[in-house]
Amino acid sequence: MTVLLVNLILMALLVVIVVLLMRTNRLFAVVVLSGAYSLICAAIFVNLDAVDVAFTEAAVGAGISTVLFLAAMAFLPANERQPPRSHRITNNIAGLSICLLTGGILIMAALELPAVGDPNGPAQIHVAPRYLAESGEVLNIPNVVTTVLASYRGFDTFGETVVVFAAGLGVLLLLGGLTRTGRATKAKAAVAKTGPKTGRTKAAKKGAK
């Protein structure tokens, strides 16, 4: 009963945050509200006994993402530009009906899903019993999430790590000055500043050779 009540309050807070997110056009408020949204999601995950997911959501969603957005926001104007208001009623009706249709389809599909925690649901009877039985007894690792993530699904996690690496590399190549042209222009700038004779840069050395 308490869990239900807490869940209801948290869900209500999520709805409030989403409405606020839609109504504001100040980017700072949007970023902070997104962080709050993630934090409340983390609380809901704790309520669902998904502590690992909650941990990740709190650390990544509420923590790092907010900081990264704030860092990126320094280069943006403070307010979102308002899209030109559409006065044609047909546009609005088309948008509304697409929203209602998609939402209706999703709700219909969700009704087909097994209930949360249903012991006969496909998630519970496929490989989960083996993982649950083996992880603690045979592998001596009490946290089943870790064994699924690192051991049974090691390939997937390897892929995830490579994706994180590729994402970091991509951002560095685009923004971080890792490119050859970036280095060359820096060297050129140094040469221009100090004069070609005193500037001991790679470009100057190459020129000497």
Interface residues with another protein (CB under 8 A) are: 51-52, 54-56, 59-60, 63-64, 67-68, 71-72, 74-75, 138-143, 145-147, 149-151, 154-155, 157-158, 160-162, 164-165, 167-169, 171-172, 174-179, 181-182, 184-185, 188-189
Name residues whose C-beta falls within 8 Å of residue 46's C-beta, 6 or more positions apart in sequence: 54
Report the nearest approach of another protein to the CB of residue 14 (Å): 22
**DSSP letters spanning 116-146:** TT-TTSHHHHSSHHHHHHHHHHTS--S-HHH
CA–centroid distance for 8 within its chain: 24
Smallest gap from Cβ 152 to another protein, in A, equals 10
Q: Considering beta carbons, is residue 90 or 181 the nearer one to another protein?
A: 181
- What is the spatial distance between Cα 206 and Cα 209, in angstroms, rounded to a whole number? 5
Cα–Cα dist 88/90, whole Å: 5
User: Which CB sits closer to another protein, 14 or 152?
Assistant: 152
Query: Would you say 124 or 146 has its CB closer to another protein?
Result: 146
Min CB(105)–another protein separation in Å: 33
Instruction: Return the DSSP state at 24.
Output: -
- Report in angstroms how near the CB of residue 28 gets to another protein at its nearest: 15
User: Minimum Å distance from CB 146 to another protein?
Assistant: 5
Q: What is the DSSP letter of 79?
A: B
For residue 57, count other CB atoms closer than 10 A to its CB.
Answer: 23
Half-sphere exposure of 126 (CA within 13 A, CB side): 3
Backbone angles phi, psi at 169, to 5 degrees: -65, -40
Residue 205 tokens, joined? 């050395």
Instruction: Give the C-alpha separation, 36 to 39, whole Å.
Output: 5
Which CB atom, from 94 or from 175, has the smaller least distance to another protein? 175
Q: How far is the CB of 80 from another protein (least distance, A)?
A: 19
Q: Which is nearer to another protein, 92 or 165 (CB)?
A: 165
Judged by CB, which is closer to another protein: 17, or 62?
62
